[in-house]
Amino acid sequence: MLKDILFSTAAIRCLLPKALVRHYSLPIALLADLSLPEYTLTFPLRKVPVLFSLHQQHLSEVAAILFYLNSLASNRDNLVPADTTANSYFQVIRWLSFFTSEYVPALALCFKQLDGRLPYNRPQYDDSLSKIAVMSLMLEHHLLLHNGFLVEPNHITMADLFGASCALRGFNFFFDAAWRKDHPITTSWFLNVTSSPILKDDFAAFQFINKAHELAPQ
Ligand SMILES: N[C@@H](CCC(=O)N[C@@H](CS)C(=O)NCC(=O)O)C(=O)O
């Protein structure tokens, strides 16, 4: 049977969509081949994740894709509050938007310079590290004030799943032992959320770094 296609690579925004498709056994094919015409002709911006649909309008933008996948799973784990007029529903949208539009770009600007995907630019790198520091402090305070979760006390929502999956890049490159000591609540949240059933397989081999990567002078 022909299936809709989620084009998704190893890029960080793709981690949770792929995990949801697998966890809920959704009828969606996962493809990473971005040379297929379904991708090249439909998504000229060449971003991932995107969903090529046979039945409805195609989807880009990870937040929309996460909501869609969640609807196919019938919100089995209450990842998105059912009441679309409730504050917690708006909070989920808030955090998905924050992580995709503020947090990941700041991290990417740094780690892509470290692995050579972006050209060396020290001022931009330092500026982005400062933004990451501000966002990290903001998250730590938010989690402190909200019982260790982004939206609902003691309950993992889509916001926590997406936020923790995005934070992986921070923990891969920058959130070393000293950072973790200064951000204990964010660190516990990350471990808690990434060991939950939807994400645990992707994080089975995860290990903390001792020392943050640094940009070599050029
Ligand atoms: N606004 C999009 C951004 C998607 C995005 O930038 N994805 C990254 C991977 S995590 C990408 O495709 N980067 C390749 C590029 O920018 O050319 C969303 O929220 O989904």
Ligand 1 in contact with 112 (CB < 6 A)? no
Is 200 among the domain residues?
no
Distance, CA 48 to ligand 1 centroid (Å)? 5
Which residue's alpha carbon is at the smallest distance from atom 14 of ligand 1? 47
Tell me: do 97 and 133 sit in the same domain. yes
Kindly report, residue by residue over 11-37, the tens digit of the pLDDT: 999 999 999 999 999 999 999 999 999
Ligand 1 in contact with 8 (CB < 6 A)? no
Give the CA distances from residue 64 to residues 5, 58, 144, in Å, rounded to whole numbers and listed in that order.
15, 11, 28
What pLDDT, on a 0 to 100 scale, did the predictor assign at position 2? 83
155 pLDDT more than 80 = yes
Mean pLDDT of the chain: 97
Nearest atom within ligand 1 for CA of residue 45: 17
- Residues 7/43, Cβ–Cβ less than 8 Å: yes
CATH code: domain of residue 19: 3.40.30.10
- Alpha carbon distance 6, 154 (integer Å): 31
Is 17 among the domain residues?
yes
Which residue's alpha carbon is at the smallest distance from atom 12 of ligand 1? 47
140 pLDDT more than 80 = yes
Specify which residues 74 forms β-bridges with. none
Determine if residue 200 is left, alpha or beta; phi over 0 gives left, psi from -120 to 50 gives alpha, anything else beta. alpha
Find the domain containing 29 and state its range. 4-72
Averaged pLDDT, 63-83: 96
Specify which residues 5 forms β-bridges with. 29, 52
Q: Is the peptide bond before 27 cis (omega within 30 degrees of 0)?
A: no
1 pLDDT more than 80 = no
Residue-level length of the chain: 218
pLDDT band at 218 (very low <50, low <70, confident <90, very high): confident
